[in-house]
Structure 1
Amino acid sequence: MQRRKHSEEFKKQLVQEAMETGNKALVARRHQLSPNLIHKWMKAFQEDNDFSIEEAVSSSEVKQLEEENDRLKKLLGEKDLEIAILRDVLKKKNPHLLKRLK
């Protein structure tokens, strides 16, 4: 089997993909490489501090994720309030069901 040489950019791309998915074997299989090779590249990049997960996520993506997180927190709070209101209404109309709700 002939050895292949891979560019630094290709290695960084695969390391980033493996970090994002958290699955080295899947990335390796997709590119027909050994999972050990991906692991070796990840280790090399981490030791050299040439690559970090922060580089993979841009500031605009972080801002977008924070906005989505805030929106989802608000939605969850609204749902919790709605559930509490519905339980109160149910208690008032059907006190015998109070035991089942707890």
Structure 2
Amino acid sequence: MSSKKYDENFKKKIVQLYLEGRVATELGKEYKVSPTAIYSWIKLYADETAVSLKEFTNIQKENTRLKQEVEILKQAMAIMTTK
């Protein structure tokens, strides 16, 4: 079993592909890297502020709700200032 050394740019590229939605096993086959190594690189290089798909969906829903509230308040303010 040989130990391969991969440079940091290569590791970051693989992590970026994973974060874009590629599957670790597919990446492993394509780039001849073990999925275990890919998962360890993800822990090292994945941005800690990266948001999961579920969190992103929740943020989008909250943003839509807040925009609706702002529009309601704008309309109420227009009604209140005309009287």
TM-score w.r.t. length of structure 2: 0.52
The alignment-based identity, stated in percent, is 28
TM-fit CA distance, 1:14:
0.6
Rate the CA distance shift 1:52–1:9 in 2: closer, same or farther, 3 A: farther
The 5-angstrom pairing of residues 20-99 of structure 1 reads: 20-46=20-46, 49=47
Q: Which runs of 4+ in 1 moved over 3 A?
A: none
Q: Distance in 2 between matches of 1:52 and 1:11?
A: 19
SS in 2 for 1:21: coil
Q: CA RMSD in A?
A: 2.3
Query: Alpha-carbon deviation of 1:52?
Result: 6.7
Higher normalized helix content (fraction of residues): 1
Q: Which has the higher contact order (CA 8 A, sep 6+)?
A: 2
1:39 is displaced (CA, Å) by 0.6
2:72 equivalent in structure 1: none
Kindly provide the CA deviation profile for residues 17-47 of structure 1, in whole angstroms up to 9, marking residues without a partner as x. Answer: 111124111111111111111011001113x
Unaligned residue ranges in structure 2 (runs of 5+): 51-83
Structure exhibiting the larger radius of gyration computed from Cα positions: 1
The residue that corresponds to 2:16 in the other structure is 16
For these two proteins, the number of residue pairs brought into alignment is: 51
Distance 1:35 1:3, change over 3 A: same
Unaligned runs of 5+ in 1: 54-102
